[in-house]
């Protein structure tokens, strides 16, 4: 089945657009794209993408996360954390895998767990 149909079945794609500030927690079964500012926690069993203009302050629990923007957060990812060359991450991370491009900035502690960190309770799995 094509990926876009699978996304619709698990909750769709959530977007916080550039110029938008959201204060509060996000809980989602689908992917999240953050191009604005989120001040709160994000919980998802899917992928979180923080665009170049994106900024997050809080705790993030997810399946995988890709960061191009800024995050001041504790991150727990059951799969992979990808820091693009424009990423600025401050905070401790607990992940299964990590990919860091040259130019990315990471300040914090990294714990890599194998097997992956425990899935997030309270959210339907894919």
Helix locations, the chain, DSSP H: 3-10
How many distinct structural domains can be found in the chain? 1
pLDDT at residue 118, as a whole number: 63
pLDDT at residue 120, as a whole number: 61
CA distances from 112 to 1, 62, 75, 87 (A): 32, 15, 12, 19
Q: 79: domain range?
A: 3-112
Is residue 98 included in any domain, yes or no? yes
Is residue 24 included in any domain, yes or no? yes
Average confidence (pLDDT) over 62-89: 97
Contact 78, 60 (CB under 8 A): no
Closest CA to 120 of 68, 91, 77: 77
Edge-first strand listing for the sheet containing 14-16: 14-16, 32-34, 47-50, 64-67, 80-83, 97-100
pLDDT greater than 50 at residue 1? no
Burial 4-36 (b: 16+ CB within 10 A, else e): eeebeebbeebebeeeeeeeeebebbbbbbbbb
What pTM was computed for the model?
A: 0.83
pLDDT greater than 50 at residue 23? yes
Is residue 87 included in any domain, yes or no? yes
CA distances from 124 to 15, 52, 54 (A): 20, 29, 26
């Amino acid at each position: 089945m094509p990926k876009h149909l699978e996304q619709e079945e698990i909750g769709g794609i959530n977007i916080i657009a550039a110029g938008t500030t959201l204060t509060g927690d996000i809980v989602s079964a689908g992917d999240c794209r953050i191009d604005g500012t989120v001040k709160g926690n994000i919980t998802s069993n899917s992928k979180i993408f923080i665009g170049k203009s994106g900024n997050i302050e809080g705790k993030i629990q997810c399946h995988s996360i890709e960061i191009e923007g800024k995050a001041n957060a504790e991150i727990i990812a059951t799969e992979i954390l990808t820091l693009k060359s424009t990423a600025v991450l401050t905070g401790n991370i607990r992940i299964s895998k990590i990919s860091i491009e040259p130019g990315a900035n990471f300040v914090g502690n990294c714990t890599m767990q194998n097997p992956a960190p425990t899935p997030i309770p309270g959210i339907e799995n894919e």
